[in-house]
Structure 1
């Protein structure tokens, strides 16, 4: 499930976008993957391309797919389907009606070879390899271009793709292990707890059982219009556990229309019985939706004269320190940078500042250095830059002033100033002439909100809209009090059809469908957050209050993060109580103990926490492992991998394994999902630090559930670490 309470959501952003890769690339299937109509091809989208596909047919139902081209050869897909399924005949009801069911699945596709003059591209893949198994298939496929307009494809499929005119598995010549394929069963109709839960790797099925051939062709009639035809190896037999598809023919025909590089529309005649429709919305995060360079021009570097270069000391009579500080503060404010502290000697000037505008600390540092050349005494030879966030000094970068003066507007200036700089931990406060903490600053705003729930147990998409009021009171640079209140425009609502657990665990997440449904104003959050630097390499955070939609309490955290290290280590301990479902100031009441949790005066409370390791792999890849205790009292670990692009986009995935069994967890077997962060400046074209984040989960359950607290330390300090500064250093002169 995904909840985003303010601003845009990644899904709507992608649907609304009209930008994508510069060339059109391959067209997409009704399953949301590059290919023909149902069947895959050996083609791959452009690296980093994201595609969201919405497909519909009368008996095939709805499919919503998210596909991401991770590398030049490897892609992955997540899919949510809504379709009719045949009811199981019983003695009491020998002729049951069909019923609507929901299905989640994951795909992977890897291109083994590139196409050459006489050799086709060859790919191997698996469809629904990590789901309930309704579409479970494996395949190997080859595609070859004939001229510039025609691509022909042929492949061999197993599982669902091995049904139509099937024959004995050719892998059986290697071993008879491949001759038979275990039969899929749905746990809803089975007493066997080992099958049908979804979320489990069905390795005992892969490339086993009968195989079948599929083939097809796509002809590109014009730059926008293409025609497709295929012989599908899926025949949708009318069995109890199969989707209720009206199937009459293996021949499918269709067309694709690339309205613009970011929108592809499709229509098809499927199964010999029905019309299907498809829309695919394509975006590549490495390419900008708006014109680049809309940032306001930076101030020019002020170059010292020969006489000024000869100065060995600072003439304090001509340039009083107070005047320098005031002048620099005013200049920095133009750039959205707040002067926190300043220390000036005859040869060095140490600036501690807070960047409130630029996503890249390197860009803010470059702008601040330019302003320093305007007013810092000419005898100063070295600028010492110390960026700050949430009152925490993040790092220290020493820049030779003469290099700043000589490199501006030269070829290779970014690399040259990087090589001339030195990086280390931020210094101590001693010696800094610090500006007093700002007067308690009160900020507030009122605006519309859109909250989406996607891929939950009740359907592919549910939405809530209304007004949200936000207020923030900055007591000091290190202490902030923040709150949000929402008023829905939809009035009182019924709960979504989530799955309650009956396994001895408290519904620590699956009850969220019941929160805030009264139609009255709800308190989304109200908390105070305090940040401190314990040692030069260790940071601390304490957050207390109504931390999120479902929980209130206290969250504490320590983070060891040396500036030059790719590794950071953290520890978090939280004491939280479950809030009332009306999302007021009260807490939930429970009549009995659950999973040995302590219940005092009817309130459910628990201690949760994790030890975390963060590692910057390089080239934008970041790995994270969290080990500890989750909200339901289960113990385990969460593994995450994210890719962050230089323009601020971040796309990644995670999975959590705990001592809660897959049977207790329920459908999905374990927690997993895809997460996306989109910077606002990608679309606005003007600098801002604001982002919007979404999480796409196959199903929100209670196992592996973590507290959702804002302002965790690693994301707060990471922008000032050497690895992040290095990755975005190209923006220093922007």
Structure 2
């Protein structure tokens, strides 16, 4: 840049020349664990940059975190405070979102009084080339993509490792390249790339595609040194931002483009950071990280029961009710029926403890062996959820069978054979099948059940700052038969600060969600759900569900869903339609005037790639807008599912701030936190804004979830792991 002093230009030239020559010339004596058989612990670590995402301090690198890593980064460098969330769903992709609080700028007194301005942004980075002996790792990234664009940048960066040193060199556009050291190399293809035009982003949320890779560029780079003192890593970088053109007309003084810093790894999950940036400003920060793909908790489940001679338990006077108790306590099977069909013993129920069904079945085999007559040759497990038979697994009698096989339980309605493993079993109708079975045990279970639990809701990112609510929740259920039940959730607010929820954004759509402030403020004791639900098997591979009542906090009504889900198919199709009416703000029994029809056609696609599930919905939303929702999620081996969604509708400019609905979510097995196995899950989600466009009805149950056992998934891999 012409305004640079000769000293600054010399620093830049020498620093970038050093990084560039090392990237090109140095052979990677120490590339990566996979390529050189170097232990993982000896590979130079990666850290989150100030904004979040793997990098040095202010600049990104080409490196990626281990697959499944989730990181939260906090950093303070005046006048900015950054809160960054970063995810590594694949080896080749990093994604995240961040908040940047600008301490010397306000939202505006008419909006949020004296609260500091808070910018929201989405970042993404893709690995283009893996590091090899004579080639660097190369990545392409986008900062503040689809946000307000205040810090929007595009960059191409390369890294090369040499022993305990890691060198990076990159080219940045936008914020990362605001120094403008170089002309735009892409400008040779079109004149429009030579100048970066600041488009009006409105209130954010639009993809500013015309800005991508436009304008002058700057080089950036750095060196990371992993010291012999294992927890300590040192960093030095040259950045391409000049700080004279900061967003919101907020220039900052910069004495040097060189930043220096240190990282101290306190343990595997916590890293502390300190740096001297711009030649005049201190940075302090911390990062919390966890690998969602490998997280686990050692279990202290009861050992499988000892195996006696066939029928020994019955000879000792124990009945089938005792067998059902053992199936529940040791195998984690809530048993509805036990019956005999020729030389088969049939257990009908649902798994309620082990996420791995092979674990439940092999434990159950031992129990049933001790109760079954000597002429029983096989055990059949008919898995049922809310009255829907999903599948039937057939195992030979041996306590530790070597050759199990699964049949399509669906088989309950057709005469088709389904081959899996080493054998197939002809199917028959459910009614005829049960007529041939001799009942040994039948228990409807608890008619009424309840559960008391805490609840927590939060919202951050709006002009009102951080908002929270702590609830005491009472969940109840009353079963009418195998296919029908009443469910209810009562919530009492224990603690909240929603009296600070003042800002209500303008909306040109019906206020179907932006009344959230009134609901939260006026609800102390609320009926969050009170509905009756019924399920049915409609035909071979077809399932149905109907429901009516107070479906969620904001809406009451009635609706239904049908689903086509073939056994062990990668594709399922669901269709739901609902008539709903808006509820009163106190979340009691009253209703408001607004009513509408909503519904979706949804395709669920198991891609077969990295355990990724794709969901595509087309339909009508609560504000009567028409559109589509695209949802991708990945399930890791730990059972954790990480997903993101985006909804685009015909609301157009009427949508307002944010442009379209989007968010991320995380579903985690509860047994990751306890030493006892559990099939329970806890889910958290984040949406940057609550708007009316693209708003969906929050249905309590879905047929895809209720028919989850239709998929075999990793049964055979799990079976081999469980064998003792």
TM range (shorter): 0.7 to 0.9
Contact kept, 8 Å, 1:398 with 1:422, in 2: the verdict is: no
CA 166–184 in structure 1, closer or farther in 2 if over 3 Å, else same:
farther
Of 623, 627, 640, the match for 1:632: 623
Contact kept, 8 Å, 1:445 with 1:469, in 2: the verdict is: yes
* Structure 1 residue 421, shift from structure 2 partner: 5.6
Write out per-residue CA displacement over residues 228-256 of structure 1, whole angstroms, 9 at most, x where no aligned residue.
Answer: 22221112334673556555542322221
Of 684, 701, 706, the match for 1:694: 684
Of 329, 349, 361, the match for 1:334: 329
SS in 1 for 2:474: strand
Of 446, 454, 461, the match for 1:448: 454
What is the alpha-carbon distance in structure 2 between the residues aligned to residue 426 and residue 477 of structure 1? 21
| Structure with more relative contact order (C-alpha pairs < 8 Å, separation 6 or more) | 1
**Aligned length, in residue pairs:** 658
CA 46–100 in structure 1, closer or farther in 2 if over 3 Å, else same:
same
SS in 2 for 1:168: coil
* Structure 1 residue 724, shift from structure 2 partner: 6.1
Q: TM-score, normalised by structure 2?
A: 0.84
* Structure 1 residue 394, shift from structure 2 partner: 0.9
What is the alpha-carbon distance in structure 2 between the residues aligned to residue 656 and residue 693 of structure 1? 20
* Structure 1 residue 710, shift from structure 2 partner: 1.4
Write out per-residue CA displacement over residues 341-364 of structure 1, whole angstroms, 9 at most, x where no aligned residue.
Answer: 233133222321122222233332
* Structure 1 residue 495, shift from structure 2 partner: 5.1
* Structure 1 residue 511, shift from structure 2 partner: 1.7
Contact kept, 8 Å, 2:44 with 2:226, in 1: the verdict is: no
Contact kept, 8 Å, 1:295 with 1:685, in 2: the verdict is: yes
1:669 aligns with 659
What is the alpha-carbon distance in structure 2 between the residues aligned to residue 125 and residue 167 of structure 1? 19
1:4 aligns with none
1:402-441 alignment, distance < 5 Å: 402=398, 404-405=400-401, 419-420=421-422, 422=424, 428-429=430-431, 430-431=434-435, 432=437, 433=439, 438=444, 440-441=446-447
What is the alpha-carbon distance in structure 1 between the residues aligned to residue 486 and residue 570 of structure 2? 32
Contact kept, 8 Å, 1:84 with 1:98, in 2: the verdict is: no
Write out per-residue CA displacement over residues 602-648 of structure 1, whole angstroms, 9 at most, x where no aligned residue.
Answer: x1111111111111122421111111111110111111111112321
What is the alpha-carbon distance in structure 1 between the residues aligned to residue 675 and residue 425 of structure 2? 30
Q: TM-score, normalised by structure 1?
A: 0.83
Write out per-residue CA displacement over residues 57-106 of structure 1, whole angstroms, 9 at most, x where no aligned residue.
Answer: 3311x3222211122222111122222476899xxxxxxx9973222221
CA 550–205 in structure 1, closer or farther in 2 if over 3 Å, else same:
same
2:580 aligns with 576
CA 493–45 in structure 1, closer or farther in 2 if over 3 Å, else same:
closer
1:131 aligns with 147
What is the alpha-carbon distance in structure 1 between the residues aligned to residue 246 and residue 321 of structure 2? 79
* Structure 1 residue 728, shift from structure 2 partner: 4.9
Of 472, 479, 483, the match for 2:484: 479
* Structure 1 residue 703, shift from structure 2 partner: 1.1
Aligned-pair Cα RMSD in Å: 3.1
What is the alpha-carbon distance in structure 1 between the residues aligned to residue 150 and residue 428 of structure 2? 56
What is the alpha-carbon distance in structure 1 between the residues aligned to residue 723 and residue 446 of structure 2? 34
1:100-179 alignment, distance < 5 Å: 100-148=116-164, 150-179=165-194
Is structure 2 residue 573 aligned with structure 1 residue 563? Answer: no
CA 627–498 in structure 1, closer or farther in 2 if over 3 Å, else same:
farther
CA 506–605 in structure 1, closer or farther in 2 if over 3 Å, else same:
same
Contact kept, 8 Å, 1:561 with 1:567, in 2: the verdict is: yes
The farther-off stretch of 129-138 and 511-520 is: 511-520
* Structure 1 residue 47, shift from structure 2 partner: 1.5
Is structure 2 residue 212 aligned with structure 1 residue 206? Answer: yes
* Structure 1 residue 707, shift from structure 2 partner: 0.8
1:45-124 alignment, distance < 5 Å: 45-60=65-80, 62-84=81-103, 100-124=116-140
The runs of 5 or more residues in structure 1 that have no matched partner are: 1-20, 90-96, 186-194, 309-317, 409-416, 589-602
Contact kept, 8 Å, 1:440 with 1:476, in 2: the verdict is: no
Write out per-residue CA displacement over residues 159-192 of structure 1, whole angstroms, 9 at most, x where no aligned residue.
Answer: 111112522112223443321122243xxxxxxx
Write out per-residue CA displacement over residues 465-491 of structure 1, whole angstroms, 9 at most, x where no aligned residue.
Answer: 242233332333332322222222337
* Structure 1 residue 258, shift from structure 2 partner: 1.0
* Structure 1 residue 680, shift from structure 2 partner: 0.7
1:215-230 alignment, distance < 5 Å: 215-221=221-227, 222-230=229-237
Contact kept, 8 Å, 1:495 with 1:513, in 2: the verdict is: no
What is the alpha-carbon distance in structure 2 between the residues aligned to residue 472 and residue 403 of structure 1? 36
Is structure 2 residue 35 aligned with structure 1 residue 30? Answer: no
